[in-house]
Structure 1
């Protein structure tokens, strides 16, 4: 083998190594088997464009060196093989995330009850967002691929962000410090969605709602209250409500996306089904575990300032469907509404302790505001990884900023 062939192979291997790093850190699906740290993922994300440029230069240098050497058979086979792998890794790490997780912050399609009924079952859980324009329900399987769905016509531009691995939706007003945020899904870290703000190029962890460079305690997007209820209850409570549906494109209008979206949906659905059915996280990117609850226990988590707490539905049911929590002087009512099959958290006062609270926080002719930080039915294993200081199943008083408090059984 000539020196030119050796040079060509060296350049190609270097280009292949860069493409493999892009695949490992940004492909999302790759992390099903490959573990990568936040530091590595973010370093690759911030440098993805220079890396692709360097990859292209290395690949071109490899071709040039091979052409000088006369393209012997072994070199040609190696170059073709490396080029195929480079294209696959580059597509999976750079192109595919944008294609398979197409954001719907703008242009999300919502349907009225009669239109949505043929597409979802009565027991289908909806993540509900209420705005001045009414109630909007989001089935998990429909918001699973886009990860981001904007509420049409909402003056605040409210968007629902969703992570199937966490089984959690968080609604945000897409702005940080008054600057607009344009969200698009990128990958996952520690079994939770990572988006990026196309306006600034900054990654945004779903749990935190902050730009990566600012850290989890930096300026964040304002949260909008959400809660869950089955479609049968949503239909009864909100006959004029609307439901987000992410329907597959028709084969006649777009044959490529018609096939691609179905394949992507199958992959995503398989991942979240595995997450729900197995004790271990589907993506091996969680290192810290908390045995206070089973890994895949669905919890209702929230925070008041720096104090985080989580309750299970059974815990609330065991306390006559009602908990009155005193969190550093802030009264939070946790209520399970049996007729609506929905759990809500409301900000009250000492005067509302023990007083009946109807669905939506209605009490004595007024409406208590929902606690906007409540997340419904998130998997405990993911929640505890981000908030290990969480108080579990509290009863009564919780001191601010501590894990002290009474803990009940799950």
Structure 2
């Protein structure tokens, strides 16, 4: 009888420890601490893919622990209740916390006029312009940092601006990712870049590569133009501006928590916040911002200094004629297809909108201002144009 009691106590302790370790590990894996520990991205994807199984196992362990507690009376009800709260908190953290902290505005985003936004934004604030069929929306970087996602119908296209503060990267994609109407939200970040989840289909999307995890869906991208608010309001006087209202109590807490780490992420004196990048490509300084273009099989990156020295740069990539344009007045770097209707065209000048004396060039999507350490991690074979 005594031996049996010892065995039962040992069983209870083992189940309690396994439950605690399992719960805490899941919470760490699926939140920022997991990236601080450089846990593999594949683990994150696997947990998400089988999340309901893992949640069920977690709940089953807790139920079994309660069964042992009621049978053996080893812990007091207080300690069992405390353990239960801990497990529930871990389940929430692993599966629902980031969604609650960072609400998506794919639908119902707040857009205001230039006049109203001018009372909110500073002239030197970075803003991304999205122009489709003559209609323009502006997305201030500061107002994207909490929601990360803001959508709208622009020029007849349902698109969504996605933003990763760790990468300093805006990417505009169409809202239909191959499964009809999507419902995009934040899952986590891996290798200092945002991973989005479509809550309709269950698909995962790596923002910088636009690659889907569980299907062969091809994400359609649209270009954006990076400039300052001072230039934006001059260039696009009829545009609507996305404004995040910062009206939740948790917003103030998030901004306070992120202020120090984000200063380090932009500082050349510190490495990346999360030590998950290869950091092996020293062609440029890790924190240098580049303008990257992904042609599928090959990629190219421009530095601002190269753009300034070569404000009209024609080159070829994968057999495609391309034109990089730099507008010094507004500090804009844009990329265009060098042909019109499949025919190469000659021109002496082209503005940042792609207007030439012989026709309108089509703007191509670039990764504007992304940190070199992030770009080179995801695209290690990229070509570099540096002044």
Alpha-carbon separation, structure 2, partners of 1:72 and 1:188: 38
Does 1:66 find its partner at 2:69?
A: yes
1:375 to 367, 370, 386: 367
In structure 1, what is the equivalent of residue 231 of structure 2? 233
What stretches of structure 1 of length at least 5 have no aligned partner?
A: 250-257, 394-407
Cα contact 2:346–2:358 (8 A) shared by 1: no
Aligned to 1:355: 348
- What is the distance in 2 between the residues matched to 1:365 and 1:213? 44
* Native 8 Å contact 1:31 1:284 kept in 2: no
1:343 partnered with 2:344: no
C-alpha contact (below 8 Å) 1:151/1:157 kept by paired residues: yes
Matches within 5 A, 1:183-194: 183-194=184-195
- Does structure 1 retain, via aligned residues, the 8 Å contact 2:132–2:157? no
Query: What do the CA deviations read for 1:345-390 (whole angstroms, capped 9, x no partner)?
Result: 1111485456200231111162111012x11000000001111110
1:107 partnered with 2:98: no
Q: Give TM-score scaled by structure 2 length.
A: 0.91
Aligned-residue offset at 1:267: 2.6
Provide the residue aligned with 1:290 in structure 2.
281
Q: Hey, what does 1:129 align to over in structure 2?
A: 130
Distance 2:34 2:143 in 1: 23
Contact 1:4 1:66 in 2 (8 A): no
| TM-score, structure 1 as length reference | 0.86
| Match among 24, 36, 39 for residue 20 of structure 1 | 24
Alpha-carbon deviation of 1:146?
1.3
Alpha-carbon distance between aligned partners in 2 of 1:206 and 1:94, rounded to the nearest angstrom: 20
- State whether residues 237 and 340 of structure 1, in contact with CA within 8 Å, keep that contact through their aligned partners in structure 2: no
SS at match of 2:157: coil
Q: How far apart are 1:32 and its partner, in Å?
A: 5.2
The corresponding residue for 2:37 is 34
User: RMSD between aligned alpha carbons?
Assistant: 2.2
* 2:252 matched residue in structure 1: 262
Could you say if the C-alpha distance between residues 146 and 197 of structure 1 is closer, same or farther in structure 2, counting changes exceeding 3 Å?
Answer: same
Size of the aligned set, in residue pairs, is 379
Change over 3 Å in CA distance of 1:229–1:70 after alignment to 2: same
**CA distance in 1: counterparts of 2:160 and 2:121, whole angstroms:** 22
Q: How far apart in 2 are the matches of 1:93 and 1:264?
A: 18
* Cα distance change of structure 1 residues 382 and 143 upon mapping to structure 2, 3 Å threshold: same
8 Å contact kept, 2:137–2:154: no
Tell me the CA shift for residue 135 of structure 1.
1.3
Per the alignment, residue 387 of structure 1 pairs with: 379
Distance in 2 between residues matched to 1:354 and 1:303, nearest whole Å: 25
The CA distance in 1 between the partners of 2:329 and 2:279, in whole Å, is 38
